[in-house]
Amino acid sequence: MVLDTFRLDGRVALVTGGNRGIGQAIATALAQAGADVALLSRTDPAETIAVVEKLGRRALAIPVDLSTAGPDELADAVEAAVAGLGRLDILVNNAGIIRRAAAVAHSAEDWDAVLRVDLDAVFHLCQAAGRIMLGQGHGKIINVASMLSYQGGIRVPSYTAAKHAVVGLTRALANEWAGEGVNVNAIAPGYIATDNTAALRADPEREQVIRERIPAGRWGTPGDLMGVVVFLGSDAARYVHGAVLAVDGGWLAR
């Protein structure tokens, strides 16, 4: 039956940045659907672990700082998930940072920091997980893109560059891996109320302009991403490759 194809019982997912925000909702959703969850996180994801375990699933913290970890450390982190939870079926590249400054004033440090976490780490984790998934002939990779994968944004050139690249990378990997049983897709969240957007929501004018442009008439919540990540992580999405699913309250349709 079709609803059974959405279930993730017996699967293992690795989620980056699952300690708070969208990543916490994603980890919770995957666990609710039946998966055990490894949390690649620089901050102790104790709260998320408690949620996953309360659902009767296994959780594993893998401490990694994506701003300093190179390809080898990231490959080790992926192996740690396999060693700790027995297998790897789903990778969600969720962790991300944003630095706001006008393009002319955007420091080299900010540029490098954002590209390291939002793009370099995404590629190296896809590569490490991809090796395992290609070897076993199945797997799901879900990258977290953005509205700024489509649009330029304001005062966020490094973030926009990285998030455009995440979509290009998603499509490039999908082309190589679709025939090998590995689905690579992306989710593009709209404006979601998390720490990432706290500065926007703290500015009443900016908050109002953004909210009034969203056809749904409200900011999204991390919970709004839960259904889509389960879908893309499941057999229900077996013929979905290289897609970018916007979960944006209609922002892009406007």
Instruction: List residues binding ligand NDP (CB under 6 A).
Output: 17, 19-23, 41-43, 65-67, 94-97, 117, 144, 146, 189, 191-192, 194-197
Burial 144-165 (b: 16+ CB within 10 A, else e): bbbbbbbeeeeebbbbbbbbbb
Q: Report the residue number, 115 or 134, with the smaller CB distance to ligand NDP.
A: 115
Residue of 197, 199, 228 lying closest to 30 (CA atoms): 228
Least distance from C-beta 67 to ligand NDP, angstroms? 4
**What backbone torsions phi and psi does residue 156 show, to the nearest 5 degrees?**
-135, 50
Least distance from C-beta 20 to ligand NDP, angstroms? 5
Choosing from 150, 159, 191, 239, the catalytic residue is 159
Q: Report the residue number, 4 or 65, with the smaller CB distance to ligand NDP.
A: 65
Clarify whether 159 is annotated catalytic: yes
Residue of 113, 125, 12 lying closest to 64 (CA atoms): 125
Least distance from C-beta 106 to ligand NDP, angstroms? 17
How far is C-alpha 110 from the geometric centre of its chain's CA atoms?
A: 21
Q: What angle do CA 120, 123, 128 make, to 5 degrees?
A: 125
Q: Report the residue number, 32 or 43, with the smaller CB distance to ligand NDP.
A: 43
Residues designated catalytic: 159
